[in-house]
Amino acid sequence: MAEQRSISLGDLARQAGAELSGDPTLTVDHVATLEDAGQGAVTFLANTRYRRFLATTKASAVVLSPEERDGFPGAALVSDNPYLVFARVAQLLLQEDESEESARVHPTAQIHPQAVLAPNVRVAAQAVIGARAQLAEGVVIGAGTVLGADVRVGAHSRIAANVTIADAVMIGARVVLHPGVVIGADGFGFANDAGRWVKVPQTGSVQLGDDVEIGASSCVDRGALGDTIIGEGVKIDNLVQVGHNVRIGAHTAIAGCVAIAGSTTIGKGCLIGGAAGIAGHLTIADGVTVTAMTGVSRSIRKRGVYSGSTLMQPSQEWRRNLVRSGQLDEMYRRLRELERELADMKKKQVGNNELH
Amino acid sequence: MAEQRSISLGDLARQAGAELSGDPTLTVDHVATLEDAGQGAVTFLANTRYRRFLATTKASAVVLSPEERDGFPGAALVSDNPYLVFARVAQLLLQEDESEESARVHPTAQIHPQAVLAPNVRVAAQAVIGARAQLAEGVVIGAGTVLGADVRVGAHSRIAANVTIADAVMIGARVVLHPGVVIGADGFGFANDAGRWVKVPQTGSVQLGDDVEIGASSCVDRGALGDTIIGEGVKIDNLVQVGHNVRIGAHTAIAGCVAIAGSTTIGKGCLIGGAAGIAGHLTIADGVTVTAMTGVSRSIRKRGVYSGSTLMQPSQEWRRNLVRSGQLDEMYRRLRELERELADMKKKQVGNNELH
Amino acid sequence: MAEQRSISLGDLARQAGAELSGDPTLTVDHVATLEDAGQGAVTFLANTRYRRFLATTKASAVVLSPEERDGFPGAALVSDNPYLVFARVAQLLLQEDESEESARVHPTAQIHPQAVLAPNVRVAAQAVIGARAQLAEGVVIGAGTVLGADVRVGAHSRIAANVTIADAVMIGARVVLHPGVVIGADGFGFANDAGRWVKVPQTGSVQLGDDVEIGASSCVDRGALGDTIIGEGVKIDNLVQVGHNVRIGAHTAIAGCVAIAGSTTIGKGCLIGGAAGIAGHLTIADGVTVTAMTGVSRSIRKRGVYSGSTLMQPSQEWRRNLVRSGQLDEMYRRLRELERELADMKKKQVGNNELH
């Protein structure tokens, strides 16, 4: 899908927004780990633990922070945000050669006659595009992917293989959907009729903003009434569940296996750690971080970092403490009783002492 | 997939089982949120927080409880179970126009010559139907969906796109399976042979009862010996795992991201909250509610509500308490020791006092 | 997919590595539960709770441990590891009849002209095989499955329906991938640029060792730099997330709904319980067991069993204890204060007593 290309360190530094320390005419053509890098490779210090590899790396250049650069004899791309510079470097070196891979619709793809595809849209084998679907320029649809009727996909969005997009879902520009993603399946809405469940038709849809990315096999349900809305620049990892009528603010990032129940609103610029769970009908403020495996059962009104995960211990210790976790309230009451009695005794003791 | 249709409020109230307060000849044709509703819309009070919108809604009618109706000047469909009435209203207004969408099998669908399809079955593009599969009348199969050999699907069941049904799975009538669902993959069964895993063939299958609904990308494994059985009317949300030989009683509802390990039996009419986990080989009684993110590691013999999720706190507080959660048993023992000592001192104090 | 076949108890015992107690000429042809077994069936004691069925089973033979065999009048295949023997028996009775199902590529499968398939590879309907993919002998590809460019699949691997394998993924021999699996989607890597996320291209790939099995809808992400590596014989259940650059040692088993964040290394022969979560950049030693629903947030250096799940209680009790779990540190400090005061009082009491 992507081709490597050669670029001089001078050009690379300029385009990636880094300061170059080294020969600007030297060319590089790929990224690699510090350990594996050879000639032509740009690398970076992913973790301070790998610092020892700096001395021996064979990379042509390393992306470093000003502090890390100190004493490093090789060529360096220096920045206060080296991870960002590395991201740009990797993008530049892997830049898609759009001209080569000519636009085409595979003959086995089934495009509804009422669907509208921009001239340079690519649709892979066995994909299915529904009635009145609109695919803007540069859109890429993977093999076996199914788009329902009235789906709209913005320019340069890339939808991988075996994705399912239900009817009337609206997808912004430059959106990336990984394999197995499901957008717009019915939300979980049932009314109870004397013990039996009656389906509440899910009449809303889903809106994905520009630059959204959603990981493999994640699901975003359509709204019951009104739409489920994922703001621009939101990044969602794999196997994440987003319930009906959830709203996620711009540039929020959600790690793998998170579950978000229906009608919850998450603010902008939030970070939700892996396998966290968020109950329904809550509001989470902008700039909130929820750490991994935390259960959020009430709204969070203030920016900050919130946690609720448990302590891992050797099982023998854990078992002893687990029993006590079920006696916490009793322990609290016994503690309070002790405090009372002690205060009482103290009083008496003082009395006794005064007696003497 | 569904068409809106017009209906008078009088007919709607009668068919939905509500009392009408308002003009029975007024017609409505869609459902909408309280806030967005305009002429022709029926809406309801999803949450008491939205009560303020009641005064200004432009909806033609609102579904309300008798108490909510008090003082509301507009047309109302009144019921003690307004959510149920709303579900029925939405169903009536969105009723499928089966006659229009004529029965058909897409020419790219691969139907095994030994498969048996009722005359009005619809199969979308790129679907694959295995040998000896039997699809009853009114069944709809989505694009890219794969049914193995000997699968049976009951009347009017709707299987969405990119679903996979393995060999010999039995599906009841009016079942709804959302995109990405996998029914009948092998259960997780391995015997250990001196550190290596030897596969235990999974020779059972899966039975889904009538009116079961299963959400996007959920998985129900086939039994090891004997079948995995999902009772009639069971509703399962997205990304739920149901292990081999699990049995789920009728009309139980299971929210998203729940994990149910093998050979567990869940009763009828249970509610399992989101991201809960249920260990294997357990029995859960009828009418049990397990709240979200609870880990169930022992059987539940008595109807009731059970919980085990943790408290979310600002991370600084959480960290301090987390340390103590690993010292609970020590705290308990120190508390008991204090109680002993205090009792001891009291005795002595009493002795001292008596001495005087 | 599999055929039953008839075999004498003598042959079966020899091939499965069990001692036969009974008539070696008796033939059997299938496996069944203790309860359902009839003539021709081999069964085993899955759970000691089912012992009562031993007396009345109609099975032709039962796999038993030496202790369980005592007093059992019927034919028995006796072994110290009856579950392993049963696994082998089931495999022998269900052995694939490869000769009958002739090798074939379905005419609707799309095989890239540059893909290389061994002569007896089978590819089902609607599957897509990318450029330069190499499929070794005996490989089976399910319907609707998509393999990207440069994918390699080792001999006799079986990939089910609707699986997605991204470009350049390397799959060993005898690997089993269940429906909906996604291998090689991008890892979750983004650098932050003043509040906006910039994608870090994921340039590594995935290597699956020989005899790996991965359950339905599980995801293994490709590496950012360098590969994600799953060791030989690793067994992964359904809906498991494996982040980029994770390494999993040989013969480790991972139950359903586990989440493993990026760059974590898990040792050999580990057992990870269902719905556990493992944070990123950790190291877990060989032979570690993590029980279900445990959050692992630090490295585990020593073999052993580790836990962190919570206690389930009736909700009323749980609620009271939950409040106290947020006061643990306060309780600890009050406890310590009480100890101090009591020690103080004791000193004074002793002083008082000495005074007398």
**CB-based contact B87 A277, cutoff 8 Å:** no
**Long-range CB pairs of A97-105, under 8 A, 24+ apart, other chains included:** A97/A2, A97/A3, A97/A5, A98/A138, A100/A3
How many CA atoms lie within 13 Å of C291's alpha carbon, on the beta-carbon side? 21
Which of C262, C256, C208 minimizes the C-alpha distance to C234? C208
C-alpha A12 chain-centroid distance? 28
Q: What is the mean pLDDT of chain B?
A: 93
- Predicted confidence at residue A125, as pLDDT, reads 97
- Predicted confidence at residue B98, as pLDDT, reads 52
Query: Length of chain B in residues, anyone?
Result: 356
**CB-based contact A195 B47, cutoff 8 Å:** no
Largest Cα span, chain B: 106
The CA distance from B303 to C314, in Å, is 10
Q: Given B185, B295, B352, which is nearest C293 (Cβ)?
A: B295
Q: Are A31 and A89 in contact (CB under 8 A)?
A: yes
- Predicted confidence at residue B97, as pLDDT, reads 54
**CB-based contact C324 A332, cutoff 8 Å:** yes
Q: Compute the average pLDDT of residues A264-270.
A: 98
How do beta strands C190-193 and C196-199 pair?
Answer: antiparallel
Least confident of A61-75, B77-91, B218-232, C99-113: C99-113
Name C213's bridge partners: C176, C235
Q: Which of C106, C112, C244, C251 is catalytic?
A: C244
**CB-based contact B306 C313, cutoff 8 Å:** yes
Q: Which three-class secondary structure state does DSSP give residue A330?
A: helix
CA C331-C336-C339 angle, to 5 degrees, is: 125
| Chains with at least 3 CB pairs less than 8 angstroms from chain C | A, B
Q: Are C312 and B294 in contact (CB under 8 A)?
A: yes
For residue C190, name the pLDDT band (cuts at 50, 70, 90): very high
Task: Give me the CATH code for the B110-306 domain, please.
Answer: 2.160.10.10
Q: Are C228 and C245 in contact (CB under 8 A)?
A: yes
Q: Which three-class secondary structure state does DSSP give residue B302?
A: coil
- Predicted confidence at residue B101, as pLDDT, reads 53
Q: Which of A112, A156, A178, A244 is catalytic?
A: A244
C-alpha A269 chain-centroid distance? 12
**A179 vs C35, more confident:** A179
At residue A139, does pLDDT exceed 60?
yes
For residue C55, name the pLDDT band (cuts at 50, 70, 90): confident
A 126-185 near C (Cβ less than 8 A): 126, 142-144, 160-162, 176, 178-180
The CA distance from A93 to A5, in Å, is 5
Q: Compute the average pLDDT of residues A242-248.
A: 98
Q: What is the 3-state secondary structure (H, E, C) of C66-114?
A: HHHHCCCCCCEEECCCHHHHHHHHHHHHCCCCCCCCCCCECCCCEECCC
**CB-based contact C292 B295, cutoff 8 Å:** yes
**CB-based contact C326 B304, cutoff 8 Å:** no
DSSP secondary structure of C218-239: -EEPPPSSS-EEE-TT-EE-TT
- Predicted confidence at residue C97, as pLDDT, reads 54
CB atoms within 10 A of CB B351: 10
C34 by Cβ neighbours in 10 Å (0-12 / 13-18 / 19+) ranks as buried
- Tens of pLDDT along A76-133? 999 999 999 999 999 999 876 554 455 699 999 999 999 999 999 999 999 999 999 9
CB atoms within 10 A of CB A305: 15
Both tokens of A237, joined, read 């990892």
At residue B296, does pLDDT exceed 80?
yes
At residue A353, does pLDDT exceed 80?
no
* Alpha-helical runs (H) found in chain A: 9-16, 66-69, 82-93, 315-325, 328-355
Best mutation target, B284, B298, B302, B321, to test chain C (most C CBs within 10 A): B321
Least confident of A312-316, C6-10, C55-59, C234-238: C55-59
Q: Compute the average pLDDT of residues B124-140.
A: 97
For residue B345, name the pLDDT band (cuts at 50, 70, 90): confident
Q: Are B217 and A179 in contact (CB under 8 A)?
A: no
At residue C100, does pLDDT exceed 50?
no
| Interchain contact A239–C (C-beta under 8 A) | yes
- DSSP assignment, residue B12? H
- Tens of pLDDT along C17-42? 999 999 999 999 999 988 889 999 99
CB atoms within 10 A of CB C1: 13
Q: Compute the average pLDDT of residues C175-188.
A: 98
Q: Given B146, B295, B342, which is nearest C143 (Cβ)?
A: B146
Name B117's bridge partners: B135
Which of A18, A108, A121 minimizes the C-alpha distance to A63? A18
C31 contacts in B (CB within 8 Å)?
Answer: 201, 203, 225
Largest Cα span, chain A: 106
pTM (global) more than 0.90 = yes
User: To the nearest whole percent, how much of chain A has pLDDT over 70?
Assistant: 94
C 219-238 near A (Cβ less than 8 A): 219, 221, 225-226
A178 contacts in C (CB within 8 Å)?
Answer: 182, 185-186
CA closest to A286 among chain C residues = C195
How many CA atoms lie within 13 Å of C321's alpha carbon, on the beta-carbon side? 24
Residue with tokens 């359509």: A222
- Tens of pLDDT along A290-300? 999 999 999 99
The CA distance from C121 to A27, in Å, is 44
**CB-based contact A261 B253, cutoff 8 Å:** no
| Chains with at least 3 CB pairs less than 8 angstroms from chain B | A, C
- Predicted confidence at residue B100, as pLDDT, reads 43
C86 contacts in B (CB within 8 Å)?
Answer: 191, 200
The CA distance from A65 to B51, in Å, is 55
- Predicted confidence at residue C35, as pLDDT, reads 86
Q: What is the mean pLDDT of chain C?
A: 93
B18 contacts in A (CB within 8 Å)?
Answer: none
At residue C324, does pLDDT exceed 90?
yes
Which of C309, C249, C307 minimizes the C-alpha distance to C283? C249
Q: Compute the average pLDDT of residues A166-195.
A: 97
- Predicted confidence at residue A1, as pLDDT, reads 44
For residue B126, name the pLDDT band (cuts at 50, 70, 90): very high
- Tens of pLDDT along B149-160? 999 999 999 999
| Interchain contact A197–B (C-beta under 8 A) | yes
- Predicted confidence at residue A2, as pLDDT, reads 53
At residue C198, does pLDDT exceed 50?
yes
Which of C61, C76, C120 minimizes the C-alpha distance to C96? C120
- Tens of pLDDT along B7-35? 999 999 999 999 999 999 999 999 998 88
Which of B2, B328, C230, B81 minimizes the C-alpha distance to A331? B328
C161 contacts in B (CB within 8 Å)?
Answer: 128, 146, 148, 164
**CB-based contact A325 B329, cutoff 8 Å:** no
**A3 vs C247, more confident:** C247
| Helix (H) or strand (E) segment spanning residue C143 | none
Range B7-93 classified under CATH 3.40.1390.10? yes
B352 contacts in A (CB within 8 Å)?
Answer: 352
| Interchain contact C217–A (C-beta under 8 A) | yes
**CB-based contact C143 B166, cutoff 8 Å:** no
How do beta strands C41-44 and C259-260 pair?
Answer: unpaired
State how far residue B108 is from chain C, nearest Cα, in angstroms.
9
Sign of the alpha-carbon dihedral angle for A136, A138, A139, A141: positive
**CB-based contact C322 B311, cutoff 8 Å:** yes
> Active-site residues of B: which are they?
244
Q: Are C270 and C287 in contact (CB under 8 A)?
A: yes
**C212 vs B354, more confident:** C212
Both tokens of A76, joined, read 């360096």
Q: Given C30, C94, C251, which is nearest B196 (Cβ)?
A: C251
**CB-based contact A91 C199, cutoff 8 Å:** yes
At residue C354, does pLDDT exceed 80?
no
| Interchain contact A193–B (C-beta under 8 A) | yes
- Predicted confidence at residue B3, as pLDDT, reads 62
| Interchain contact C253–B (C-beta under 8 A) | yes
- Tens of pLDDT along B75-117? 999 999 999 999 999 999 987 655 445 569 999 999 999 999 9
DSSP secondary structure of A171-195: E-TT-EE-TT-EESPPP--EEEETT
Q: Given A148, A304, A311, which is nearest B314 (Cβ)?
A: A304
**CB-based contact C83 B200, cutoff 8 Å:** yes
The CA distance from B200 to B186, in Å, is 10
How many CA atoms lie within 13 Å of C99's alpha carbon, on the beta-carbon side? 0
Answer yes or no: A244 catalytic. yes
Whole-angstrom CA distances from B255 to A189, A299, B173, B239, C27 are: 10, 20, 22, 9, 47
Least confident of A69-83, A215-229, B91-105, B289-303: B91-105
User: To the nearest whole percent, how much of chain C has pLDDT over 70?
Assistant: 94
